[in-house]
Chain A
């Protein structure tokens, strides 16, 4: 015990890591595990990005505010990149394309050359020469007379929704205001507290700076994962503190009231402290971190461990005058051990399930329970001596309840009511809605959600969570697969199924395509007497000017490689899509914008092309596990029943199980009527009910010779558990709230049914 404490203090506490991301609880996607690290990296990178829109009445004011904002962010050193002013040196940006222009054609031009439709190319060149539209091309007439390079550059321009180039910034004009776009990437894991503590205050300071930069009113809208993560962990911290405090005070008061002395309370706290410390240490040693959910369930240890303490001390009421701690052990020991065993079986099953989070929870609770039980059975006999008479409050309550139960008779009316209730529950079960959607499990503060919607509204496109993952045996194989995909995506864009897409192959075509382009240019454009010579002569260029350009084309005979492209300024916007070498294969991502037709996208999947939809995948996983665990729950009830039957015989065993089962079903029925959705976390709570409910049954059955103490013990246990979970039902986080509500109803009903069930048994025995 002390050793564990020592380990905790020295190794765990300094490096304690608490994880608040619910996605970290879930197992990884099953298929293609090799690419998962690359996908994780891509998702992680997306999570590090933020979008800010700084708006004011005029572009000048908005620019001032944006400049102040950006400078403050840069000064904080918490960001790897802060972009708001465009690097408008076009030549520098496209230098790499110019160096290999003999190999680069836009898809439309490639097709036109292949089909021999040179007429339109000639007209295009003439229009550029003779009308002002020629001024609008990136490259002038002398640099690109036929416009092939200009058209390629047009094809590679990334469209950022509604944002347009205004001077040297990207801006959106809406509702009479101009918003300047600031794109940032923060440094470090957005879900780690250390990162949040650097980034969030920097953003707050930047907002202040922006508001004060100009007299005009400034509106700022932000989008980015880190703000939601920070809000979630802040709220979790607050709740753990608030709930923990209230729970502790309530439990303390209750115990004082019943036992009248501080010793049970102090010993109970000691046990709890040791149990939680041990649990935290073991989990941290095994997993390297502790998830918030494990801590939340850990707070349920307050209920279970205190249960054992209470049971031990309630035994005192059996014989108040001659009670010694040592004498209690043979009376309550077996019951406690049996209770522990059944609860452990329940958690043991969770360990076997490949959800890393559930394993944590199971390990945490199992360790805590074992240590707690150990304390009760070994420490208490030594430390728990109490002098004096215990207060009358406890026995009075116990006797009152025992009396009420004695007067309870199963009259016909009561049976009819019970039947009616059973039917109502059945109907409720039928109305129960299953809610596996992972988005419903986390809820951000309304201010953040409003700003996200505002950003989406202003930019005209949201951050789509679906994207294509293209893989292959070599970089070129990947590019070729991607080109086939983008051809199909072009069709979807024309049909309106998607608004846009971003792919690496737009900027760096596959070598196969590049060589084809080069051949087309050599044969149909630059060959003597071909297109180039015709147009240039028409325009009036001297033969040596034509020859010079032809020689330049012939001299530039190397295609553009992926590495060249990645290292250049041209790939800035799309570089992150190239995942490169992942294990033994290569992969790249094609992101989508404005998705309107999902089945059309799914239809494009092929051997090396997968549509990744994280949200749907996770929802699918939650759904599958919920299904599996429902059956597991039934199985565990069966196993527990078997063990109890071995100890107590079939009739009693059923009587001990029935309250839990009935409570579970009734709770679900009530949820059906109230419209509370059923999800994996509700199920998780029901696992807990399994353990606690059976404990009540066992304690009542075991203590049937001393009814009053047994009843008091069970009632007290139920109260402490309810205090612990009643508060969870008030949490702002939906998945924690589900757990709280479930336990609130289920524990109350378990207690009620356990009492009603044991009453009958007692009658038989007299």
Chain B
């Protein structure tokens, strides 16, 4: 065999494996131009979320800071109630409850008294609460108003998983995070927020249950500290 005839084989040996390896998609490579396609991509989780009044599940909240070698990890349970807000109960490494809504946030530790911060004192609170709700409930319309959306809609069709990218339009939100991604398949599984320094916050959701019934009395009672 001459060298000339070997080269294509050699080249193809290198190329083919690459062709078979799943391309590492950059979620921000494909801006969303067609809202209908995006809705199609998100159709499965959207179907569950459309009728859901209450979502419950477990979370794993990890902070990856460039200066810290190990990520800061917290785990716990959460309840998202439409029109009421988010109940975020951290169980590890310490017990703490945070309630987020558009009116403000309330925090209490270990069942102690709640400390409230009104959204008027810290305007960022309202922004984050709104976005959090929109991210977790995949309110694409609301997200589309405040963010430029990116999605590789083709990739979605292959194995049922999807990933959308968001870049904030307003400077106020850009101060909190410069870009975010939401990914999952049947449910929303992961939200990644990247801030101005490049530090990432990764929130993994699991064991999500959906309920289309309005929240019961015990759930409502959890949100009591938010009421003035």
Question: A interface vs B, CB < 8 Å?
Answer: 86, 88-90, 123, 126-127, 129-138, 140-143, 154, 157, 159, 164-165, 167-168, 539-542, 545
Contact = CB atoms under 8 A, between A and B. Distances in A.
What 9 pairs across the A-B complex have the smallest Cβ distances? A165-B123, A130-B74, A88-B171, A167-B170, A540-B68, A136-B124, A88-B172, A545-B67, A136-B128
A539 B72 contact: yes
B93 interface: yes
Given A131-B61, A131-B98, A133-B98, A140 B195 contact: yes
A123 B120 contact: no
Interface of B: 61, 63, 65-70, 72-74, 88, 90, 93-94, 96, 98, 100, 105, 107, 109, 117, 119-128, 132, 146, 169-172, 175-177, 193, 195-197, 199, 201, 203
A140 B107 CA distance: 18
Contact of B199 (A132, A133, A138, A140): A140
B176 A165 contact: no
B90 A130 contact: yes
Contacts of A129: 63, 72
Given A88-B172, A142-B199, A545-B67, A131 B74 contact: yes
Contact of B170 (A88, A123, A135): A88
B63 A130 contact: yes
B177 to A, nearest CB: 7
Contacts of B61: 130-132
Contacts of B127: 165
Nearest to A155: B121
B146 to A, nearest CB: 7
A168 B171 contact: yes
Contacts of B65: 141-142
B67 A136 contact: no
Contacts of B88: 131-132
B125 A136 contact: yes
B193 A136 contact: no
Contacts of A143: 197
A89 B126 CA distance: 18
B176 A135 contact: yes
Contacts of A135: 128, 176-177, 193, 195, 201
A149 to B, nearest CB: 14
A254 to B, nearest CB: 67
Contacts of A159: 120-121
B100 A154 contact: no
Given A89-B171, A127-B96, A164-B119, A132 B201 contact: yes
Nearest to B106: A133
A130 B105 contact: no
Given A140-B197, A141-B199, A540-B69, A131 B172 contact: no
B96 A539 contact: no
B73 to A, nearest CB: 8
21 contacts: A88-B170, A88-B171, A126-B94, A130-B61, A131-B61, A131-B90, A133-B100, A134-B63, A135-B128, A135-B201, A136-B128, A136-B176, A138-B175, A140-B196, A140-B199, A142-B66, A159-B121, A168-B170, A168-B171, A542-B68, A542-B69
A130 B65 CA distance: 12
Nearest to B70: A540
B13 to A, nearest CB: 44
A329 B123 CA distance: 83
Given A130-B90, A157-B121, A136 B105 contact: yes
A126 B110 CA distance: 13
B67 A142 contact: yes
A498 B193 CA distance: 40
B62 to A, nearest CB: 9
Nearest to A162: B120
B122 A157 contact: yes
Contacts of B105: 133, 136
A143 B196 CA distance: 11
Given A86-B172, A88-B171, A540-B68, 12 more contacts: A127-B107, A132-B100, A132-B128, A132-B203, A135-B128, A136-B122, A136-B176, A142-B65, A154-B121, A164-B120, A165-B123, A542-B67
B199 A88 contact: no
A222 B100 CA distance: 35
A167 B173 CA distance: 8
B77 to A, nearest CB: 13
A123 B65 CA distance: 19
A62 to B, nearest CB: 14
B32 to A, nearest CB: 19
Given A89-B171, A90-B175, A154-B121, A127 B98 contact: yes
A168 B174 CA distance: 11
B126 A164 contact: yes
A693 B149 CA distance: 85
Nearest to A126: B94
Contacts of B177: 135
Contacts of B93: 126, 130
A123 B63 CA distance: 17
B146 A88 contact: no
Given A129-B72, A133-B105, A541 B67 contact: yes
A25 B69 CA distance: 74
Given A123-B109, A136-B176, A140-B199, A131 B96 contact: yes
Contacts of A138: 122, 124, 175
Nearest to B118: A159
A130 B63 CA distance: 7
Nearest to A128: B63
Nearest to A546: B67
A690 B60 CA distance: 90
Given A168-B170, A541-B67, A142 B197 contact: yes
Nearest to B93: A130
B72 A540 contact: yes
A589 B109 CA distance: 40
Contacts of A126: 93-94, 96
A165 B128 contact: no
A562 B127 CA distance: 33
Nearest to A89: B171
A83 to B, nearest CB: 16
Contacts of B197: 140, 142-143
A545 B65 CA distance: 12
A592 to B, nearest CB: 17
Contacts of A136: 105, 122, 124-125, 128, 176
Q: Which of A130, A165, A168 has the most CB of B within 10 A?
A: A130
Nearest to B191: A132
Contacts of B63: 129-130, 134, 141
Contacts of A137: 122, 124
A138 B93 CA distance: 25
Contacts of B172: 86, 88, 165, 167-168
Contacts of A142: 65-67, 197, 199
B31 to A, nearest CB: 20
Contacts of A123: 94, 96, 109
Contacts of B119: 164
A641 B205 CA distance: 99
Nearest to A544: B67
B130 to A, nearest CB: 10
Contact of B107 (A133, A141, A545): A133
A142 B177 CA distance: 14
Nearest to A150: B122
A134 B96 CA distance: 13
B30 to A, nearest CB: 25
